[in-house]
Each structure stands twice: as C-alpha cells, then as structure tokens.
Chains A and B, each alone.
Chain A
Amino acid sequence: MSTVTGVPGATPKYTKKDFESDQDVRWCPGCGDYAILSAVQKSMPDLGIPKEDIVFISGIGCSSRFPYYMNTYGFHTIHGRAPALATGLKLARPELKVFVVTGDGDGLSIGGNHLLHVLRRNVDVTILLFNNRIYGLTKGQYSPTSELGKVTKSTPMGSADRPLSPCVFALAAGATYVARTVDRSIAHMEETLKRASRHKGAAFVEILQNCNVYNDLAWNVLYATRPTGPPPPCSPSSGRPSIRSRSAPCSARKARRRTREFSSSRSRRPSRIAAPVTSRSSCCQVRPGRSDSALPARITGFIVTESILPALPRRAGLVFSWPT
C-alpha cells in the first residue's frame, strides 16, 4: 500500500497498524477526527523514517487528543502553546520529525501568536489545523473561524465577529507551505499530508473537519463538491503554475449575491442555508491573467475557497508551496 522512501534497509517497513496506539479512541461517533486519524496513520509509513523519530505535539481541544491515538512520541500540552513547545523541541533535537496538531480555537484564538511566529520562523515542523468552525471540547462556543452571525451558546444573538481564514493567516505570516484538505476524503488527506511532511520548513495544513455534535455540516458546501480522489500531480521544475481547467462555468454575480445574504448579521444557522457553491473545480487551476510575481508558487493541489476568503478569487482552488 505505501512505499518506503529513504535509505533502503535502514528503516523497517511500517504499516498503518504500527502507528495505532493501544488507547481506545474517544471522539464522538461520527466525528471527522476519526477519518483524519486514519489518513495520518496511513501517511506515516511514507515518511520513511524510524517511528521513534516522530513526535506529535498538540494543544487543547478535540483535535489535540490526537497524540494519544498515535503510537509515536507525543506531548499533549496547554491551550494554544503547541507551536512554541515544538519550536523548543526542534531547538533541542532538530533531527526529529515533529508534527503540531491544533484546531481553529487552539491555533487561531489563544494560540494565534505562537502560530504566527512558528510560521514566520519557518521552523521545520508540520502543522495540522483541524478547522470545524466551533469549540467542540468545551461544548459549542464560537471560534475565530465561525461565520459572522453564528448562533452558539456564547453568542445566542449571533456572533458579531468576522471569521479569520487559516490559510490567509498562514500566508500573511509568511508560511512557506500552505495546504488545505477535507476530512471527507481520506485519499486526498493522505496525499496532502505526505506532501506537507516532505516540505523542509514550516508546512501548514488546514483540514476542514466536521463536528457532528456542535456544528454539523459546517462545510456543507464542500461535501457536495468534495474531491473524490487525491490531488493530481503538479508539473514541477519551472515554478510557473500549470493551468488545466475543467471547471464548469460559475456565475460570479449569483455567487456574490448569495455571499451577501450569507454574511448578513440576521442569519441564523447558516449551515442550513444553501450556501453559494463557489467552485465545481476538482483539479489544479490558477487564476488566468495573474502574474507570477503575485503568487510565486507551484500549484500542487486543490482546495475550495468560499466567501470567508475575500482576498482570493471565489473560483480558484489552490494549494501552493514556495521553494525554500
């Protein structure tokens, strides 16, 4: 199933099972984290390094229960501080393969500062941010990625905050690798994780995750158009984005109108509203006519943008990495 890269004969050939710990997995039935765990475990053998050199560091949240279910070294730390601990660990042991597992609350609320700096410093870690647009562990408060107007236990009259986009945040921090995947496609996650792990420097991966108890179907728009397979390979070398467009035409005006409705402060339970479908693309695509200097990146995968990414066009799906 997975091949071993690296020095032949030096590293044992691992399977997914080697990375399953002996602990009962305690996430809610139907939680998207099960799929993520499976995808991560499947992607581990591809690293081609001894199991004992892998460390998972997490903060606090449902996402951050992750290390207990991985049969590697792990440290479940304090809310928001995992990137700082990971930085200290890399200072002591630069040769270890370090993953940071965080969530939209842990990473962008209390941990925003540390996330900013670990990306700015380009510390050689792989950051997995499970974005479910809610605080799940504490039972349903809104998070920095919750939509404007979101009704939750702590915002009964609708949130007055505009959401933050994790990918835009990472880009602004100067991240050298930004990717996005979704819990509904294990194949897509697996491939994305493998590529992110190979990156030298800080790799940021946002994983759109469904919390079926406190924010079910928050990513509803995506499940209609989710990728059915792994992202296609990208043409390397030149650094110029490759253009292969097979997307169906999408009405920009219609999308904009729906976006306005979507983000009105009077909205209730936006996940039930037919949110605008912003892209039917399932392949590599780049905005035509845009010069390379704006995005000196190699397109390597696929994400879907929504109205919460005002800076990026509503049609394009992008995963990008910078040469380091």
Chain B
Amino acid sequence: MIISHLGDLKTGGILIVNTAAFDQRNLEKAGYPKDEKGLPKNPLTDPGLAEKYRLYQVDIGAMTKKSLEDLPLNAKEKERCKNFFALGLVSWIYTRPLDPTLDAIKKRFAKNPTFVEANIRVLKAGHAFGETAEMFSEHYGIEPAEMAPGLYRSMTGNRALAWGLLAAAERTNIPIVFGAYPITPASSILEELALHKRWRVRTFQAEDEIAAVTSAIGASFGGALGVTASSGPGIALKGEGIGLAVMAELPLVVFDIQRGGPSTGLPTKTEQADLMQALYGRNSESPIVVIAPCTPGDCFYIAYEAVRIAIKYMVPVMVLSDGYLANGSEPWLIPDVKTLPDIDVAFRSEKEGFAPYLRDPATLARPWVRPGTPGLEHRIGGIEKQDGTGNISYEPDNHDHMVRTRAEKVRRVAQEIPATVVNGPESGDVLVVGWGGTYGAITAAVEEAQMEGKAVASAHIRHLNPLPPDLGQILRQYRRVLVPEINSGQLVRVLRAEYLVDAVGFNRVRGMPLASQEILEAIHQLLEAKS
C-alpha cells in the first residue's frame, strides 16, 4: 500500500497507518527490501516518513479485536471489521455525522444482526479513539455544499447516458434502437438499457462492433433513432460504418467511452485520447458532430442533446465520455423533463417535389423518409450522389460541392451552442481550457489560483466539433492559454490550428484522472514563464 500510493499524498498530508498490518510476514509479501540480517525493513521506522507527513501510528487491528471480544465472530470476521474503525476515525477527523453510516450498516447487514452490532461497535470505537486519544492536533469541519434544492440521486456517467436516451425517446415518440457489442467500459450502457424494455428502446447485442454500428444505421434508415456505444478500439472498427452514415446523411449517435490505449491498452483506466479519432477517424473528408460531457450527471444532458442534434441535422453525433465519468458517480438533481428542449421529428410524407437530398435552408439537413411511405420510394447509399436528386454522380464539381456542403452542415450546428461560460475574470493572465472529465480537477485548481489572487479563469468545452462560436474571441482575452488533457495534446492542437493562439498543453497519460494540484503547478509555471 505504502509503496504504490504514497506518491498521491501531498507533503504535510495526514498518513494514518494500521501498525498491526506491518508485521514481518506482510512486509515480506509486500516486497520491502531486506536489511543485513535478512529481515524486511519496516518503512515506519524511516524518520523521513514522519518528517514529510503527519504520521499517526494506530494499532487498528488490536483495537478492533478488543471491541469485539465478546461477540460470536471468528478471528477473520473480526479483522474484517477494521475498515469501519478507520472510517469512524476519519469521520471524527472531518467532523462527519455517523448516522448515515449507521443507517447504511443496518440496511446492508440486515440479515445478520451480529455483523450489524459488530460494525457499529467498531465504527464508534474508531470515532471515540479520534476524540479521546490525544494524537490528533487538528480536525476539520466541512461546510455543506451549495446545491440547488430538489430531489437528488446518485448517478454514474453510463447510467446517465442511458437515461438521457430514454428521455429523448420519450420526447421524440420514435423508438431508439441500440446496437452494441460488449466492451469495457461501455458494456454497462447496453446492460442498463436492456432493463428498460417498457420504455421506447430496443437493445441488440450485435455479433461484432461493425454489426453494432451498421444495425443502428439500418434502424435510422427505417425511421428509428440508431445508437451505438463502444470504447476506443470499437470506434476504430466502426469507422467505415460511421462514414456511411455521413454519406447517407442519417441520424446516428455514437458513444465513445474512452479508455487507455493504444490497441487493447488499459481497459479499466481512463484517458481522453480519442478526440482526433472522433474528428478524423474515417477516410476522406468525413466530418461529424463531436460533444463531450464534463461530469457523470452531465452525461444525461449530453445524450439527450446528441439525439436532438442528430435528428435535426441528419448527421452522426459522437459523444466522448471516459472510464472515469462512466463509472464515477455524483449526486444528480433529477430534472423536470418538461424543461428539456423539444426534439422535433418530421418524417416527410409529401410526394410533390420530393428528392432524397433536398436541403433544409437553415440546417442543410435532407428529408427523413420512413420506408413504407407511399410514393417516396428512393435509393440511398455510400456512393457520392448529386445534391438534390440523390442519383449517383461522379461529376467533379458536384463532389467538391457535396464535400463542402457536408462540412457546412456540421458547422451549422454551432447555432445550437449556448454562450461559453467562463469561470473567473473576463480577461487575465491564464485561461485554462479543458474538455471531458477533467472539469472537476481544472475547476478546483483554477479556484485555488483565484484565491491566491491570480488572474486565472477556466472555460470547459462541451462542443468539440463544431467549436463554440465565441471561443476564439474568449481565448484572445488572456495572455496565455493552458490546455490540461489526459492525452499527448489533442484539443491544444485544434485550438492552435483553429484560432492561431499559442496555447500550451499540460499532458499526463497515466490512465488516471488529473490531480488539481498538478494543474495548479502548471498554472504557476505558465504564469512565471516569459511570454
């Protein structure tokens, strides 16, 4: 434990160790180096440890055992309770009420009253230890968070994506056909949706990733809303399929729950290195809309928005979530569904003047026709076609025109993007721009810098293609732009190319979320750097 995680503790942080666990056998198992006598060296004896951290050595093992003396539990069961001692102790340090934990224990172990009794005793013992043992010179209070009034529930990112789809299906009145192939960390979306047959969603576990996306496209062709979900490797496979949706100009929603790569990579670790794949991962000029949630709860609104944009513009929309958001959770305010935006679905039925590639003047979307509509029989496909008529065309000027039209259609989605929210002063020294799951760490770092009196602000982008129309103007109000990302620098390149601004990346690709401390350090470095 100490070997692997001590680096995460900042200097001067609190380190509570269960001395009972640091016996010779465990030290050997943990692989601590041996001294001259052939005994593993106990790290607790290192004076540097107590100098660097606030070290508290507590015999949690023995105290747990003592408090459970008279209970009919065996030694192993008694030892298993020790985590509640630690929880009780930490609860005291942070002045947290014990009642929610007590309720949880009673509920969780309801079938076994002895366990309930044991865990409650140990929890209270830990709490009492903090209070009575005069080891801890400080303890902390935590103010209640400022949260809007309403009914909350715990929500993970993947469940929020699934529920966003269900909400959109209810609003549109058309079914959602969800084709997916199991892949970590996206499988739970398929599993969640499969539970909700009574809502307007049909789930399909396809035979492979390509069948997943093509079945979704077939469903969209039929007048349902096709959705698929995967992670990096699966999105790579779906490239040709998504390209077909671009050419056929059909609505399609693709969830990419990013994970460590390349190739199989680190399936259970988070990363945000698929932005370039989302923007360019298809042959030729194949633009699609790309959006990204910033918190687990935001996934609900992003999924809903993805459906809305896909239908309105007859275009594929990719949602870039990641493993951290997918499995992470937060309290989520259950929205009033009436406040969600409208999703207009208008299937064409008028025969007069119909052509498969007629364009709506505002969105450039072509008409959506349900097969089964009399008089509107037509054929579409992946080959380039004449604008308007939809007949196959190899004509040079037509192809150039179509490439530009498809790009312009995606650009028009910018009219859906609300004004960018800037957290901090409207102009200053450093603007920290992020996307995806780094929202929390960036916001914490920037707010700490602001408390230090620095002229630092942050802006978090949810729309990556097209970018918010006001972003260029905002970037130019700051002396430097910092882009922290869990990749080798992808959004930073987009910003530099798009706005000709000397944005700088902060990049760590460790399969872990970024820490607010390291972002804060990067902000300090950028502030001090000569322009």
Residues on A lying within 8 angstroms of B by beta carbon are 21, 23, 50-53, 55-57, 67-68, 70-78, 81, 84-89, 91-93, 95-96, 113-114, 116-117
B204/A87 in contact, CB under 8 A: yes
Q: Which residues of B have CB within 8 Å of A86?
A: 218
B218/A87 in contact, CB under 8 A: yes
Residue on B with the closest CB to A76? B381
A93/B372 in contact, CB under 8 A: yes
What 14 new A-B contacts, CB under 8 Å, besides A95-B372, A113-B207?
Answer: A56-B379, A57-B218, A73-B379, A74-B379, A74-B381, A75-B380, A77-B244, A78-B244, A84-B218, A85-B217, A88-B179, A92-B223, A93-B370, A93-B372
Residues on B lying within 8 angstroms of A by beta carbon are 175, 177, 179, 202, 204, 206-208, 210-211, 214-224, 226, 240-241, 243-244, 248, 370-383, 391-392
B379/A84 in contact, CB under 8 A: no
A96/B381 in contact, CB under 8 A: no
A55/B371 in contact, CB under 8 A: yes
Across the A-B interface, the 6 shortest Cβ-Cβ residue pairs: A76-B381, A88-B218, A88-B215, A85-B218, A92-B224, A92-B222
25 contacts across the A-B interface (CB closer than 8 A): A52-B373, A52-B376, A56-B379, A68-B392, A70-B379, A74-B378, A74-B381, A75-B248, A75-B380, A75-B381, A76-B382, A81-B214, A84-B218, A85-B215, A85-B217, A85-B218, A87-B206, A87-B211, A88-B222, A89-B222, A91-B202, A92-B177, A92-B219, A113-B208, A114-B207
Min CB gap B203→A, angstroms: 9
The docked-state distance in angstroms from the alpha carbon of A53 to that of B373 is 8
The docked-state distance in angstroms from the alpha carbon of A95 to that of B243 is 28
Residue on A with the closest CB to B176? A92
The secondary-structure label for the interface of chain B is mixed
The docked-state distance in angstroms from the alpha carbon of A116 to that of B248 is 26
A53/B210 in contact, CB under 8 A: no
B383/A88 in contact, CB under 8 A: no
The docked-state distance in angstroms from the alpha carbon of A117 to that of B202 is 18
Q: Which residues of A have CB within 8 Å of B224?
A: 91-93
A91/B215 in contact, CB under 8 A: yes
Q: Which residues of A have CB within 8 Å of B214?
A: 77-78, 81, 84-85, 88
Min CB gap B390→A, angstroms: 11
The docked-state distance in angstroms from the alpha carbon of A67 to that of B243 is 20
Q: Which residues of B have CB within 8 Å of A75?
A: 218, 221, 248, 379-381
Q: Which residues of B have CB within 8 Å of A87?
A: 204, 206, 211, 215, 218
Min CB gap A23→B, angstroms: 7
- Given known contacts A76-B379, A78-B382, A84-B214, A91 and B204 CB-to-CB distance under 8 angstroms: yes
A84/B371 in contact, CB under 8 A: no
The docked-state distance in angstroms from the alpha carbon of A116 to that of B378 is 29
Residue on A with the closest CB to B203? A91
Min CB gap B95→A, angstroms: 54
Residue on A with the closest CB to B374? A52
The docked-state distance in angstroms from the alpha carbon of A89 to that of B250 is 13
The docked-state distance in angstroms from the alpha carbon of A177 to that of B520 is 67
Q: Which residues of A have CB within 8 Å of B215?
A: 84-85, 87-88, 91
Q: Which residues of B have CB within 8 Å of A21?
A: 379
Min CB gap A202→B, angstroms: 14
Most B C-beta atoms less than 10 A away, residue of A55, A56, A96, A113 = A55
Q: Which residues of A have CB within 8 Å of B206?
A: 84, 87
Q: Which residues of A have CB within 8 Å of B244?
A: 77-78
The docked-state distance in angstroms from the alpha carbon of A21 to that of B248 is 19
The residue that A117 contacts in the complex, of B211, B377, B378, B381, with Cβ under 8 A, is: B211
The docked-state distance in angstroms from the alpha carbon of A56 to that of B218 is 12
Q: Which residues of A have CB within 8 Å of B211?
A: 81, 84, 87, 113-114, 117
The docked-state distance in angstroms from the alpha carbon of A68 to that of B356 is 13
The docked-state distance in angstroms from the alpha carbon of A95 to that of B38 is 77
The docked-state distance in angstroms from the alpha carbon of A52 to that of B374 is 5
B222/A96 in contact, CB under 8 A: yes
The residue that A52 contacts in the complex, of B202, B371, B379, B383, with Cβ under 8 A, is: B371
A72/B381 in contact, CB under 8 A: no
The docked-state distance in angstroms from the alpha carbon of A51 to that of B380 is 17
- Given known contacts A84-B211, A89-B221, A92-B224, A76 and B383 CB-to-CB distance under 8 angstroms: yes
Q: Which residues of B have CB within 8 Å of A88?
A: 177, 179, 204, 214-222, 226
The docked-state distance in angstroms from the alpha carbon of A87 to that of B214 is 9
Most B C-beta atoms less than 10 A away, residue of A67, A73, A84, A116 = A84
Q: Which residues of B have CB within 8 Å of A50?
A: 374
Residue on B with the closest CB to A116? B207
Q: Which residues of A have CB within 8 Å of B226?
A: 88, 92
The docked-state distance in angstroms from the alpha carbon of A19 to that of B436 is 51
Most B C-beta atoms less than 10 A away, residue of A50, A74, A92, A95 = A92
Q: Which residues of B have CB within 8 Å of A68?
A: 379, 381, 392
Min CB gap B249→A, angstroms: 12
The docked-state distance in angstroms from the alpha carbon of A84 to that of B223 is 16
Residue on A with the closest CB to B210? A81
Q: Which residues of B have CB within 8 Å of A96?
A: 222, 371-372
B241/A78 in contact, CB under 8 A: yes
- Given known contacts A91-B177, A92-B223, A113-B208, A73 and B218 CB-to-CB distance under 8 angstroms: no
The residue that B378 contacts in the complex, of A73, A113, A114, with Cβ under 8 A, is: A73
The docked-state distance in angstroms from the alpha carbon of A77 to that of B371 is 16
The docked-state distance in angstroms from the alpha carbon of A23 to that of B385 is 13
The residue that B371 contacts in the complex, of A53, A70, A91, with Cβ under 8 A, is: A53
Q: Which residues of B have CB within 8 Å of A114?
A: 207, 210-211
Q: Which residues of A have CB within 8 Å of B378?
A: 73-74
Min CB gap B316→A, angstroms: 14
Min CB gap B180→A, angstroms: 12
A77/B382 in contact, CB under 8 A: yes
Q: Which residues of B have CB within 8 Å of A70?
A: 379
Q: Which residues of A have CB within 8 Å of B220?
A: 88, 92
The docked-state distance in angstroms from the alpha carbon of A85 to that of B371 is 14
The docked-state distance in angstroms from the alpha carbon of A18 to that of B231 is 46
B377/A72 in contact, CB under 8 A: yes
The docked-state distance in angstroms from the alpha carbon of A77 to that of B242 is 11
Q: Which residues of A have CB within 8 Å of B204?
A: 87-88, 91
The docked-state distance in angstroms from the alpha carbon of A85 to that of B212 is 9
Min CB gap A174→B, angstroms: 14
Residue on A with the closest CB to B224? A92
B223/A93 in contact, CB under 8 A: yes
Min CB gap A287→B, angstroms: 34
Q: Which residues of B have CB within 8 Å of A91?
A: 177, 179, 202, 204, 215, 218-219, 224
Q: Which residues of B have CB within 8 Å of A77?
A: 214, 217, 244, 381-382
The residue that A67 contacts in the complex, of B217, B223, B376, B379, with Cβ under 8 A, is: B379
